[in-house]
């Protein structure tokens, strides 16, 4: 049995990519259409057979174990259902035909980080990315200037080769993609020097994008035709832009609503006050009514996030915690004692929380914990 590794000049542990690279180089050197040497055709068939075996994991394994690389039966020739159908119905060559060199490109995904204000009001960005673009030198054909692909001399343009093998039911004809032309039916004898015959090159390009108001983490924007150009100058895939929303310093998003936590003095809660807070729309003044209880909320309409689908905005929910002084001077202590006496309050006065109050306090506690993480 021939030494197919020696035929290609590769090591036995060579990877598929290494074998493919060597084969392509030898195929260009010995292809009958470009090499006038009478022995070139025979040499080309040898390296093509070697590549067909070593590029197929199953055939390569059988060959490495000392078996017939074209046999799949243990101790004999095997065949699949598809091989039998090919044998009885003409090998399927008229149905499959050569592969198209021009194929659609891959989709691409890029992530863009926005701050909360950009997510709320929308933003415009320029995406700087490296991707596959059509080769300008050959206009995507993959051929050097003034040339075109030549019909494969092995498969005669069919893109596949047929082989007759013996099986338990007799001779079976099977069809396989032509290893010489990779199933294209043609060979680029003089490839473009810029793209090496692929019809595309890697390049950096800038793509402007307008991000709508109201987006959030996980949203994706589809940009049709902005992905990678396909081989052979094929149509480009799509570009998907995934939104990542950066955490805000003091605002917490919950859908279309925003939450903020503030702390006010005990006296302000008792007497009421006006408090200025920072929002995405700038400073806003809110009113704390007299007798405000710690853990309560103030809802400011239409200062939340813009709605991605529909109109309007969510609300800004202000969570208010009342700060109890821990250190008092003598004068302050006497004033508080006088206030307690005037209100008829003592340390023995205890109020049991109802289930509703516990629920409210629990919600604020969970919010505060989430905010502080």
Give tens-digit pLDDT for 27-37: 878 877 677 78
Evaluate whether 185 touches 151 at the Cβ level (below 8 Å): yes
Beta bridge partners of 161: 176
Q: How many Cβ atoms are within 10 Å of 43's Cβ, its own excluded?
A: 17
pTM, full prediction: 0.62
SS3 56: coil
Place of tokens 């022995």: 39
Domain boundaries, the chain: 1-70, 252-372
Distance (Å) of CA 80 to CA 63, 209, 237, 243, 360: 19, 51, 35, 48, 69
Q: Give φ, ψ of 108 to 5 degrees.
A: -130, 155
H or E stretch covering 123: strand 123-134
Evaluate whether 270 touches 291 at the Cβ level (below 8 Å): yes
Q: How far is Cα 24 from Cα 32, in angstroms, rounded to an integer?
A: 14
Evaluate whether 18 touches 25 at the Cβ level (below 8 Å): no
**Residue 85: predicted pLDDT:** 42
**Residue 74: predicted pLDDT:** 37
Q: Where are the beta strands (DSSP E) in 270-372?
A: 273-279, 282-288, 297-300, 316-323
Question: Which CATH homologous superfamily contains domain 252-372?
Answer: Urease metallochaperone UreE, N-terminal domain (2.60.260.20)
Report the length, in residues, of the chain: 373
Distance (Å) of CA 309 to CA 214, 244, 253, 282: 8, 18, 17, 24
H or E stretch covering 24: helix 16-30
User: In this structure, what token pair is assigned to residue 277?
Assistant: 């807070």
Q: What is the pLDDT along the chain (373 residues), one digit of tens a residue?
A: 678 888 899 988 888 888 888 888 888 788 776 777 878 888 888 888 888 888 888 788 777 777 677 654 433 333 344 443 443 444 443 445 688 888 889 899 999 999 999 999 999 999 999 999 999 999 999 999 999 999 999 999 999 988 777 655 566 777 888 989 989 999 999 999 999 999 999 999 999 999 999 999 999 999 999 999 999 889 999 999 999 999 999 999 999 999 999 999 999 999 999 999 999 999 999 999 999 999 999 999 999 999 998 899 999 999 999 999 989 999 998 998 898 889 888 766 666 766 555 544 444 454 555 455 4
Exposed, middle or buried: residue 243 (CB in 10 Å: 0-12, 13-18, 19+)?
buried
**Residue 169: predicted pLDDT:** 56
User: In this structure, what token pair is assigned to residue 29?
Assistant: 């050197």
Angle (CA) 42-12-6 rounded to 5° is 25
The predicted-structure confidence for 96-146, as pLDDT tens digits, reads as follows 568 888 888 989 999 999 999 999 999 999 999 999 999 999 999 999 999
User: In this structure, what token pair is assigned to residue 314?
Assistant: 């969510």
Would you say domain 1-70 falls under CATH 1.10.287.110? yes
CA-closest candidate to residue 243, choices 122, 370, 106:
122
């Amino acid at each position: 049995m021939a030494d197919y590794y020696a035929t290609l000049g590769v090591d036995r542990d060579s990877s598929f990519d290494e074998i493919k690279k060597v084969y392509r180089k030898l195929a260009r050197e010995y292809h009958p259409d470009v090499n006038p040497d009478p022995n070139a055709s025979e040499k080309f068939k040898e390296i093509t057979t070697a590549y067909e075996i070593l590029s197929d994991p199953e055939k390569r394994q059988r060959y490495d174990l000392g078996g017939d690389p074209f046999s799949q039966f243990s101790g004999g020739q095997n065949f699949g259902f598809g091989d039998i159908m090919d044998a009885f119905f003409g090998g399927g060559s008229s149905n499959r035909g050569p592969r198209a060199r021009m194929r659609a490109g891959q989709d691409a995904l890029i992530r863009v980080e926005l701050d909360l204000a950009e997510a709320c009001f929308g933003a415009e960005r320029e995406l700087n990315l490296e991707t596959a673009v059509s080769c300008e030198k050959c206009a995507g054909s993959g051929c050097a200037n003034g040339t075109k692909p030549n019909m494969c001399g092995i498969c005669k343009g069919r893109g596949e080769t047929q082989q007759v093998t013996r099986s338990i039911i007799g001779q079976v004809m099977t069809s396989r993609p032509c290893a010489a032309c990779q199933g294209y039916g043609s060979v680029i004898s003089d490839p473009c020097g810029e793209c090496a015959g692929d019809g595309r090159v890697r390049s950096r390009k800038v793509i402007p994008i307008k991000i709508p108001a109201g987006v959030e983490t996980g949203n994706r924007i589809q940009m049709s035709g902005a992905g990678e150009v396909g081989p052979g100058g094929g149509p480009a895939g799509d570009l998907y832009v995934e939104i990542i929303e950066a955490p805000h310093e003091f605002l917490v998003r919950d859908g279309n609503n925003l939450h903020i936590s503030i702390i006010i003095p005990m006296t302000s809660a008792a007497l009421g006050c006006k408090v200025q807070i920072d929002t995405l729309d700038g400073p806003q003044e809110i009113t704390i009514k007299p007798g405000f209880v710690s853990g309560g909320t103030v809802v400011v309409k239409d200062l939340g996030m813009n709605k991605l689908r529909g109109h309007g905005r969510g609300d800004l929910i202000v969570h208010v915690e009342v700060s109890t002084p821990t250190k008092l001077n003598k004068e302050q202590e006497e004033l508080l004692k006088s206030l307690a006496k005037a209100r008829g309050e003592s340390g023995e006065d205890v109020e049991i929380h109802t289930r509703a109050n516990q629920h409210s306090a629990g919600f604020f506690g969970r919010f505060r914990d989430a905010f502080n993480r």
